[in-house]
Structure 1
């Protein structure tokens, strides 16, 4: 086998081993319903938050702005839909165009987004954060 054929064969094997790319996650609750567990309260740091995978290839941003207070937001930036990052330094930021949001309310602090993150109702049930 010549060098070119060997390289093409190796590339084809590598691509087939990788399979199809994973679908891009969307923001929201996906196929979850009221009462479904979102995450454990212990996994959400006070003053920060985490992106949580939801059924149906979706994600939620769960935050704990103050001890024992849990809120959740659809992490899709209202500007163009890119998923925002969890809070850092007291702000939620969109990596695509730099919009900034308040981690306690989801309100827009800096554009280009002109509206805040959509809140998703959650409640504490024992040690779990659940959809309300």
Structure 2
């Protein structure tokens, strides 16, 4: 009887949530990414998009917004938003420039892929 109850509890939990991936997922040009006010100057935020995807949106200088696919080019782990003037991959320590996405320190051999965004009113949208 205890095993039946345990099986019911385990099956009620369902499947684990799918792992987020970098990129635009199923979002299309013109879709809202986030409010510009949500992105701190000299910082950034990871933004969830449809299709279980995420973008890293940064504001390296006041009024300048950029978005990057947050998948590290080394092995695909998602990078952290900028801290202390650098974007860091928590898996192997690669670092990237928040203004350009360029690799500063490996093991990544290339920078983060930029995703075009534009300011539309008070929102950032996919270009």
Give 1:15 shift: 1.9
Give 1:18 shift: 1.5
Give 1:91 shift: 0.7
Q: Supply the distance in 1 between the matched residues of 2:43 and 2:8 (Cα, whole angstroms).
A: 43
Give 1:13 shift: 3.5
Which segments of 5 or more consecutive residues in structure 2 lack a partner in the other structure? none
RMSD value, Cα: 1.2
User: Normalising by structure 1, what TM-score?
Assistant: 0.91
Q: Which runs of at least 4 in structure 1 moved beyond 6 Å after TM superposition?
A: none
Give the length in aligned residue pairs: 127
What secondary structure, in the 3-state scheme, does the structure 1 residue paired with 2:90 have? coil
Aligned to 1:84: 79
What secondary structure, in the 3-state scheme, does the structure 1 residue paired with 2:7 have? helix
What secondary structure, in the 3-state scheme, does the structure 2 residue paired with 1:15 have? helix
Q: Supply the distance in 2 between the matched residues of 1:66 and 1:17 (Cα, whole angstroms).
A: 47
Aligned to 1:37: 32
Aligned to 2:92: 97
Larger radius of gyration: 1
Aligned to 1:112: 107
| 1:10–1:88 CA distance, 2 compared to 1 (3 A) | farther
Q: Supply the distance in 1 between the matched residues of 2:9 and 2:92 (Cα, whole angstroms).
A: 34
Q: Supply the distance in 2 between the matched residues of 1:99 and 1:9 (Cα, whole angstroms).
A: 48
Which segments of 5 or more consecutive residues in structure 1 lack a partner in the other structure? none
Per-residue CA deviations over 1:78-110 (Å, capped at 9, x if unaligned) read 000011011111111111111000111100011
Is residue 25 of structure 1 aligned with residue 20 of structure 2?
A: yes
Give 1:10 shift: 5.2
Q: Supply the distance in 1 between the matched residues of 2:114 and 2:25 (Cα, whole angstroms).
A: 14
